Amino acid sequence: MQDDEGKAAASRPTTAVVVPVFNPGVLLVDTVESIRRQTQPCELILVDDGSTDAKTLEVLASLEAVGERVIRQENAGIGAARNAGIRETHATYILPVDADDLIEPDYAEQAVDVLERRPEVGVVYCRADRFGDVQGPWDLPPYDRAAMAVDNVVFATAMFRRSDWEIVGGYDEGLRQGGEDWDFWLSLIELGREVVQLPDVLFHYRIHGEPRNFLRRDLAGLYAGVFRKHERFFLEHLDAIYERRFEMQDDLRRLRRIEDRATRLGRVVPPLSRWLRG
């Protein structure tokens, strides 16, 4: 009986949650607790990506003291941190979680269930909401291949197979300004992997502080870099890219018309107000 139980345990899929850490402070505590509550047993790997904040270092030390696994490296960016964590595990499935976000207790279990039943699927994500300084649903466009050619519609906290990570060579560590998850998903899609979205809200994306501002030239360089790596994919979906461009031009024209009307109204309303006051 014990041998049978041991064989059954050995055959169960294993899951690792990889958390890149760079100065989240005490917010990391809530993130770790949400991972500990998973109904699917998960190996937790924290990768300290050169944190300098005293509170973050204190939290990491306290987690390490109670047995959590902490890997330390010089600051190399989120893609390099995720790769470092994944290299430290032989788990079948990987779920990245950023150090200030939260996941629901059954996220990993639901994602594993899909990947176990459907070998053609390579990425499983869910519906999400935002909390903190901005609250409410995170209404990303629904996934399809054409949508991924326009922009990334799959957030980083999605589950994938470690074997696929090995095939594509992991996250591009040169994309330090962002886009590393978009690039990674495109690599998996180009392998022929399907993407599935779970219907439940199982991921909570924290918004805090000022939004990160990118210079236009930095964003242009980021998009151009991803395009060059996946040129064939983007060329296959040029119609979707140009359709979105035309939609944006139409939106801009509507906004300009509204602005013109508001300007004209502003010239008329003050004199009328004075006349009405007598």
Task: Tell me the per-residue pLDDT of 128-161, one tens digit each, with 9 for 90 and over.
Answer: 999 999 999 999 999 999 999 999 999 999 999 9
Tally of structural domains, the chain: 1
- CA nearest neighbour of 126 among 154, 161, 96: 154
pLDDT, one tens digit per residue, over 233-273 is: 999 998 888 786 677 676 667 777 777 777 766 665 555 55
Q: What is the chain's alpha carbon radius of gyration, rounded to the nearest angstrom? A: 23
Flag whether 157 is in a domain. Answer: yes
- CA nearest neighbour of 145 among 203, 96, 185: 185
Residue 227 belongs to domain with CATH number: 3.90.550.10
- For the segment 220-224, the average pLDDT, to the nearest whole number, is 85
- State the Cα–Cα distance between residues 142 and 154, nearest whole angstrom: 9
Residue 262 neighbours by CB distance under 10 Å? 9
- Confidence at residue 8, expressed as pLDDT on a 0 to 100 scale: 45
Q: Which residue has tokens 């197979």?
A: 161
Flag whether 265 is in a domain. Answer: no
Flag whether 256 is in a domain. Answer: no
Helix, strand and coil in the chain, % to nearest 5: 50, 20, 30
Q: Identify the domain containing residue 209 by its residue range.
A: 2-236
Reported pTM? 0.85
Flag whether 253 is in a domain. Answer: no
Flag whether 148 is in a domain. Answer: yes
Please compute, for residue 167, the number of CA atoms within 13 A of its CA located in the half-sphere on the CB side. Answer: 15
Residue 233 neighbours by CB distance under 10 Å? 17
Flag whether 106 is in a domain. Answer: yes
Flag whether 264 is in a domain. Answer: no
Say if residue 1's pLDDT is above 60: no
- State the Cα–Cα distance between residues 268 and 159, nearest whole angstrom: 57
Strand partners of residue 16: 43, 94
Q: Which residue has tokens 């992997």?
A: 193
Which segments of the chain does DSSP mark as H helices, in order? 2-11, 27-36, 54-65, 78-87, 107-117, 145-150, 162-168, 180-190, 216-229, 231-236, 238-277
Please compute, for residue 17, the number of CA atoms within 13 A of its CA located in the half-sphere on the CB side. Answer: 30
Flag whether 276 is in a domain. Answer: no
Burial (CB count within 10 angstroms: exposed 0-12, middle 13-18, buried 19+), residue 194: middle
Strand partners of residue 129: 137, 204
